[in-house]
Amino acid sequence: MEALRKLRTSESDSPSCADPDPIRARQPATTNLMRACAVALSAWMPLAAQAGGSNYGITPGSHPNLVGKVSEWAVPTPRFARDPAPAPDGSIFIAVMSGNKVARFDPKTKAFKEWDLPSGHRPHGVLVDKNGIVWTTGNGNGTIGRLDPATGKVTEFKTPSGGGGPHTLVITEDGATIWFTMQSGNKVASLDTKNGAIKEYPTSGGPYGLALDKAGNVWFCRMGDNKLGKLDPKSGRMSEVSLGSRSRPRRLAAAPDGTLWVTLYGNGKLARVDPVAMKVVKEYQLPGGDAGPYAVTVDGGGIVWVNEINTDTVVRLDPKTEQMRVVKLPSSNVGIRKMVTDASGKLWYMGSHNGHLGVVE
């Protein structure tokens, strides 16, 4: 049933630096109805299972009447707190990179809780699976971390190459596999969530953000190459899509219709990519001009959110009308590097520069 309900900085992200057969009219009405329901359900379920966002384990909701109200809260340890992730219970987890912690925010009580991570872990990315287990990319020590919030136990799984700068991570719909980029190691890798086994795939361009398409292919931003990379997990075959000189793709997200949305950090644009045709369908110039589009996420209704890190704004794009709405953040020098939409369709962001967690609703 859960499946049915359903942002100019340094090159590095460190602080120093996605035909049923027709029903025959002659069949009994009850049979026709049952088959029609089955057809509708089977057609809808793949969409619900990947209803936008960035494959973060929680299916994003839709909030078509978002008024643009912004609220922010100071995190307990504002030491390059950066990537947020929604949990099944509605709370928001945060990777506190320089503080070497994971934090949890309860939207109901407005209270924070923190967990210390093993020395040197330096979490870059974070996600929470459907069982409430928290996964982090250990950018400092070349590991993937597993935190059980109930017990506080942390387990680390070392990458085969022993480093590589684990960066951003996503999880498959069945929760069996975590895919992550290794920016400094020029690799994309998978982790088996049952046994912690990691497999690496060499690439180039300093792989950054990533997302999964509806066929299960892994798409990732090769920022240094101005390209998108695509990995077929079944064959291990790599392919690519060129995004043009100085485009510098940073992050991407999958939409309900299968479209991929990519922030072009180098030219101030947002790209719409067809993963099946392997081509850019359209580029959208964002309101801030060359203002550093960084993070991107898509809600369950297909609405695209992108931030412009140099102007402290987030932009809402409706792909159907191609209308954009700019939401000015209440703080300055926010530094959004990752945004997510939760199950209710609210937009959450973490200001890595100002140490504030924010929500747009």
Residues shown for the chain: 361
What are the tens digits of pLDDT across the range 154-194?
999 999 999 999 999 999 999 999 999 999 999 999 999 99
For the chain, which residues make up each domain, given as ranges? 29-360
pLDDT at 121 over 90: yes
Specify the CATH number of the domain 29-360.
2.130.10.10
What are the tens digits of pLDDT across the range 231-276?
999 999 999 999 999 999 999 999 999 999 999 999 999 999 999 9
The pTM of the whole model exceeds 0.85:
yes
218 with 188: CB under 8 angstroms?
A: yes
pLDDT at 141 over 60: yes
pLDDT at 38 over 50: no
Mapped onto helix, strand or coil, the DSSP state of residue 57 is: coil
Phi, psi for 23 (deg, rounded to 5):
-85, 130
User: For 329-338, what is the mean pLDDT?
Assistant: 96
User: For 303-307, what is the mean pLDDT?
Assistant: 97
User: For 217-221, what is the mean pLDDT?
Assistant: 98
Which pairing describes strands 166-171 and 81-86: parallel, antiparallel, or unpaired?
A: unpaired
Q: What is the pLDDT of residue 54?
A: 63
Q: How many of the other CB atoms lie within 10 Å of CB of 334?
A: 25
Q: How many of the other CB atoms lie within 10 Å of CB of 178?
A: 25
Dig out the tokens for 210 from the structure: 């990533």
Compute the CA torsion angle 90, 157, 144, 204 (nearest 10 deg): -150
239 with 258: CB under 8 angstroms?
A: no
What are the tens digits of pLDDT across the range 247-256?
999 999 999 9
Mapped onto helix, strand or coil, the DSSP state of residue 268 is: coil
pLDDT at 10 over 90: no
pLDDT at 20 over 70: no
What are the tens digits of pLDDT across the range 44-94?
333 333 444 568 888 899 877 778 899 999 999 999 999 999 999 999 999
Q: What is the pLDDT of residue 56?
A: 80
User: For 319-344, what is the mean pLDDT?
Assistant: 96
Question: Biggest alpha carbon distance in the chain?
Answer: 71
